[in-house]
Amino acid sequence: VMKIILDLDTGIDDALALSYALGDPMAEVIGVTCTYGNVFREQALENTETLLKALGRTDIPIYAGPAHPLTRTDFAPTAMCRVVHGEQGFGQARIEPDPDLVQPQPAVEFILEAARRHGSELTLLTAGPLTTLAEVLRRNPNFKNEIGRVVCMAGALTVAGNETPFAEANVRVDPEAAAEVFTSGLPLVLVGLDVTLKTLYDQAHIDHLRALKTPAADLVGGLMQFYLDYYKTDKRRLAGCPLHDPLAAVAALHPDLITTMPVNLKVELEETAGRGRTVADLTRLNDPQKDHQMAIDADVPRFLELFTHALERSLGN
């Protein structure tokens, strides 16, 4: 069993990643940290609490992370996020206002303390912008020697972006944070659009889970339906909705699910169309030291099996 913290900008696929982790017997979720991204941070906190209550998991503590990117304070969710995840990030679900499961301790301190306490037994999964992780590294440059593994849903190396033609949303929303994290020497496993566009859920998968007919399955099934309905209109014409954050979560707990390529990543920071694009650092091509493992393939049938079984468990009662 692995201890895991999920750092979420709780929109729909973030909620699916958390629902999955709570149903996987391999995982012990020790806390959820919430940040801005798909929605404002306050909304991410409310959405997370709504989900945990529906799942009957009010034992899981929630912590508030950063509310805006490192270098600006004027954050607002993009039009794209509002269409894909809904105005409140949770499709048409009714959200619990004023979350009371939120702990007074800030997310960054919780993560630092957990890494100190659990060391190599702890995995951190980031499924939102890299701001929280950048702040963690600013506070403790030795974090890389304390934490077990860090897995990030971030980036796109061989495929087009989703937020812009070049950039994946989690990197695009705070490229400076991604750049700090990528140059920190912290070893990372990156699960980006190169693989998450291959792990699709379709109507039959969703109907199967909705048939559980519990309040949790109603909530999560409704989120999935909203998300799938958007993807029916998406220009990529995928055969379902891409499970970005869930794939990163499953790969965090089952490392052999993905095939990775060693690389040193870089982020384009210039205010051009390419801002937020992840590329290989050409100056380090011959550097034997590779800090990043970028996912280039995934065992899709096994992913679907692990994900669906865990959801049956967490939504089933």
Residue list 20-49, contact with ligand BDR (CB under 6 A): 38
The catalytic position among 244, 254, 292, 309 is 244
Q: Is 127 in the site for Ca ion (CB under 5 A)?
A: yes
**The binder of ligand BDR chosen from 244, 266, 277, 292 (CB under 6 A):** 244
Q: Is 84 in the site for Ca ion (CB under 5 A)?
A: no
**The binder of ligand BDR chosen from 7, 13, 24, 49 (CB under 6 A):** 13
What is the per-residue binding string for ligand BDR in 158-177, x denoting contact by CB under 6 A?
A: ----x-----xxx-------
Q: How far is the CB of 108 from ligand BDR (least distance, A)?
A: 19
**The binder of ligand BDR chosen from 2, 5, 6, 14 (CB under 6 A):** 14
Q: Are 75 and 36 in contact (CB under 8 A)?
A: yes
Residue list 228-287, contact with Ca ion (CB under 5 A): 245
Please give the positions annotated as active site: 244
Q: What does the binding site for ligand BDR look like in residue numbers (CB under 6 A)? A: 11, 13-14, 38, 81, 127, 153, 162, 168-170, 244-245
Q: What does the binding site for Ca ion look like in residue numbers (CB under 5 A)? A: 9, 14, 127-128, 245
